[in-house]
Structures are given as C-alpha cells and as structure tokens.
Amino acid sequence: MTTAVEELEAGSRLIYLDHAATTPVRHEVLDAMLPYFSQAFGNPSSLYAIAGESRNAIDEARARVASVLNCRTSEVVFTGGGTEADNMAIKGVASTFDEPADIIISDVEHHAVIHAAEQLEHDGHHVISVPVDQYGIVDPADVASYLGDRDAVVSIMYANNEVGAINDISEISRLVKQHGSQQGTTVVMHTDAVQASGKLTLDVKTLGVDFLSLSAHKIHGPKGVGVLYARRGVKIDPLIAGGGQERQRRSGTENVPGIVGMGVALVLAENERLEFCEHTRGLRDRFLAAVTERVSGVVINNHPQHSLPHIAHISIPGLEGEPMLLGLDFKGICASSGSACSSASIEPSHVLLAMGMSHELAQGSLRFSFGKDSTQDDVEYSVNALADVVDQLRGMPSMSARVSAV
C-alpha cells in the first residue's frame, strides 16, 4: 500500500493550494444547477410554464443572495462575474454624473477596478490612487483626505486577492459619506468583495456600501457568474444594452444554471464561514511556521491579524516565483506566484510593489491558499516539497555563471 506522499511523487494526485484563484464546484451546487441545462431550459422572459420554472429559480437565487447580503431582492443584480460587477459599479455610476468626477481607488486593487478607472480617466474623470502600508492595507483617513469638492466614486477592495489584507470598509464608508454630506457632493462607495465571500461578513448595512461585487467561482460555484449589490436609490447606467433584463440594469438572457449555482454556493459559504475560517487559519499558521523553520530567509507578507485566514503569502530572496512554481507543479502542488508573466518579461506584482517591496523580492513571491478540503498532510507535504525545490534552485549556478562558463 502506497502512502499519500508516494502517490503524489508518482504524479497520481494533486494538492490544490490555489483556492484564491478558483475553486471546484461543490456537488450540492452542481446538483442544483443540472436541471436548468436540459429539463427546465426555458427562457425566463417567456410566458409558458417551463419559462416560469426558470424565472422562479432566478427569484429563489436572488432571495438567497439577498439573505446573505441583508438587502432587498431588488438590489441584487446578477452579472457575468466579479470583473463585470466591478466595471458596472464604477463606470455605471460615473456615467450618471454631469461633470467629471473623482474616481478614488487604492494602489492594490484588482485589475478589473484599475483598468476600469483608467478608461474613465480617458473620458475626463480624475483618478486618484490611495497608497497602502507594508501589508497592503488602506488607511481609512487617507481615503477621506483625497476627497475634494467634486462628486466621487470610491472603490476600495474588501480583501486583497494576493496577500489577503483586509480593509476596514465600514470605517471607509462612514468617512467618505460624512465628507459627501459636509461638502454637499455625491460620494458613492463600492467594494470589491470577491475574495471576502465565505470569509468575512457581507452584510451591506454593516459595511455601509452602495455597491458590492461578488463572484461565484471563488466559493465553489460556477465560473462566469457574479453579483453586484446596487443600493436602491443610487443612480447607475447599464453597461450592456438590450432586452432590459435585471430591472433594466444588465441586459441579456439570464444564465439560469449559473445564477442558481451562485445562490446555492453563497448560502453554503456563509453557513460554513466560521468553520472554514477556523480550519484554514490553522492550516495557514502551521504552514507559515513550518516554512519559516525549513526555508532560510523566507519573508512572510501576511498581516498578523488583518488578513484572510486561508491565504499564506511568502517571498524567498534570491529566487524567482516561476521556477519555484514549476518545481512545485512537478511534485503535484498547485500554487501561484506574485508575478504576472508575459512573453517578453516577468513583471513584479503591482500589489507587492505598492507595499514597498523591492522588485527582486517581489519576483520571488508565492501564494498558497487553502480550502475547506485541505488537510494537515497537504501542509506537511507542501512544506517539504517547497524546501526541496528551494534547495535545488539555490544549488544551481546563476545564469551569468553558466553563460560565462560556455
């Protein structure tokens, strides 16, 4: 009988430690979705019975999402994912302003927010990016200090997708709303909560936000579906014109199976949130302690308290993320790097650079993100595998040495 480690070394199993990137669809979610692919396949906008089944399924999913967000069902907009939800909130609000507005984001936002803001800048809006501390956290007072006498859209992520840093969205919302009241301007607050679902409260009344973005595939739901919470009374123009679905806010025939899956996945994630946090925090802390012991010089980039429980982010001086990931992949471990690769170069993560990290150290960064099914054996094997990969890479001659020896 072979051990788990022997099976992994033989390439027969995977240790998946990239849950911040995506997650497998849960069987409960898939079971709920399946009828709407083939049996109850009707278009929700039609009038006959099977169309009514689809329409009712969407209504039920909307109610499920609203129950988690503590909002009205009419404030739940289904989208094609978190990226669309981010774009819809930022661009949709900015387009309602009569004059150019301030678009305030942080230096560590997801590219869905950064690039949306850049497009608005081309249209004449004024984009302001707020700095972060060494852990990637935004100071609420800094956000408020950048507000002026113009209308504004503020978009600050709830939790960072790379290092797991958690922002105080409630306090940011309070301060920016206070500023708007004092100045007599419209200040709309949006948060990208894609990484926060299933880990932090999503109660929009507690958070004080006008808009909040979610994505199903981060919480064991299907890819290609998301949610935008849009507070009633806040003006927003649709990004997609057409048949006027989603109360005229997002046209296009609804992705019924995806929407059903989103609703089930979000409720399951919320119901299991405390258990998930306790489980993954234990794994993460054990992983970081063991890595610190086994790998010399390792730098831990997580905030000691204000960090998502399932993300472990480290940097290893003198090495690059890509060869480490390839070495881990060879050993059956799926993780991710802090670097974005292109055909010409490897650029360090904008998040890590914004945190004040050097280019060299940022290029040697790795993210391990644990899930509900991750185990202590996964941690032990992964730490040992990482230590082996690091030792092998550190034992290799540098590129310059190999070139000069030829």
Per DSSP, what are the bridge partners of residue 368? 312
Assigned token pair, 222:
């299907």
Cβ-contact 131, 142 below 8 angstroms: yes
Distance CA 45, CA 145 (A): 47
Q: Which candidate, 70, 108, 37, 103, places its Cα nearest to that of 255? A: 37
Distance CA 105, CA 101 (A): 13
Q: Which residues contact 174 (CB under 8 A, 6 or more apart)?
A: 140, 208
Residue 71: active-site member: no
3-state secondary structure (DSSP) of residue 23 = coil
CA distances (Å), origin 196, targets 157, 192, 218, 307: 9, 8, 9, 10
How many Cβ atoms from other residues are within 10 Å of residue 143's Cβ? 24
The amino acid that residue 379 corresponds to is: V
Residue with the two structure tokens 């199993």: 13
Residues designated as active site: 341
